[in-house]
Each structure stands twice: as structure tokens, then as C-alpha cells.
Amino acid sequence: MVALKWTGVVVLAWSMWLAGCNGQPNTVQSSSGALQEVAPAAELVAKARPPIADLPIPIGFDLDEGRSRNFAAAGARYVDHVYRGGADKFAVARFYKRHMPISRWARVTDMFVQGDIMLDFEKESERCRIIVTRGGGPFRSTTIKVQLWTTGRIQTPQPRSSRKGN
């Protein structure tokens, strides 16, 4: 009886090893019945010096200056930038989910709406919305729209009063 249990355990372990640990590349069966190798998804890399320091931009995406603007005044800032590049929109979404927390942004929402990916992040008194779309037409470039704005009231710094003690 004990030998029968051990035989079952050995057969189970052996079949798991054959199924998952055979050292073969990841493959899927195509419609023709042939196996095709599947490469892992490529990860995008952040630019070393993006236009806005705490808003990462993937390499291969360029600022569309004609459709972008930003300004800062009285402790508040507003950014409305458009970037264009050729990466897959889902790879871009994974990029932001991975890189925004590095710049201390916390993800608030993650939506897929009518083909567009919309991600919202918060940090201190600021909110950032990133919308990733895949364009139509012959070139089908991917567009990243980054909107950042300050929320709530801006506290003006109070001057420190310095009293000299007796």
C-alpha cells in the first residue's frame, strides 16, 4: 500500500517535470497545428532626461510640441503634453504602472475604455492622468497624453518670525 502511494507521487512529479520544466522555449499551437515560439513581452525603458523630471517617458516617444503646454505659478503646476511613438499601447501601460511609483506617484485608477487605456495617479497635492491610444491610419502610431494638475488649495509659505531671546 505504501509502495503504491510512492509510485503515484513519483508519477505525478515526473509528469509535472515533463510538462513545465523541459527547458523548451514557450510555444503555442497555431491554427495549422504547428508549434510557434512565443517571445516574452518587451519592456520599455525610461528616458534619462524627460521634459518633466517626475513624469517618466519611454524611449522612442517624442514630445509633440505643437499640441503640448505646461506652466507653473504660485506653487501650482499644470502639464498637458502629447507624445508619439511606435510601441504597443499595452507595453506603454505596463511601463507607467512600473515607473510612476519610482517617482512617488500612487496609482488610483486603471481603466480600458473604448480602446484607450486611462491611468490616474496621485502624489501629495497633485493628480496625473495618462491616456494611451493607438492611432488609425497607415502609420498607426501610439499617442501618450499626460495631464498633470495641482488639486486643492496651495498654502503660501509663512515667514518665520525670529525673536531674539533675553
Q: Are 24 and 83 contained in the same domain? A: no
| pLDDT value of residue 140 | 73
Whether residue 45 is contained in a domain is answered as: no
Q: Which residue has the cell 496621485?
A: 122
Q: Are 22 and 82 contained in the same domain? A: no
Whether residue 43 is contained in a domain is answered as: no
| pLDDT value of residue 26 | 59
| pLDDT value of residue 106 | 97
| pLDDT value of residue 157 | 61
Contact 78, 148 (CB under 8 A): yes
| pLDDT value of residue 49 | 96
| pLDDT value of residue 21 | 46
**Domain, as residue range, for 28:** 2-37
pLDDT digits (tens, 9 = 90+) for 44-62: 999 999 999 999 999 999 9
CA angle 112, 63, 146 (to 5 degrees): 35
Q: Are 77 and 144 contained in the same domain? A: yes
Q: How many domains does the chain have?
A: 2
Q: How many CB atoms lie within 10 A of CB 58?
A: 21
Positions in the chain short of pLDDT 70:
1-33, 40-41, 136-139, 153-166
Q: Are 73 and 130 contained in the same domain? A: yes
Question: What residues have CB less than 8 Å from 99, skipping those under 6 apart?
Answer: 46, 56
**In terms of Cα–Cα distance, which of 131, 155, 133, 129 is closest to 142?**
133
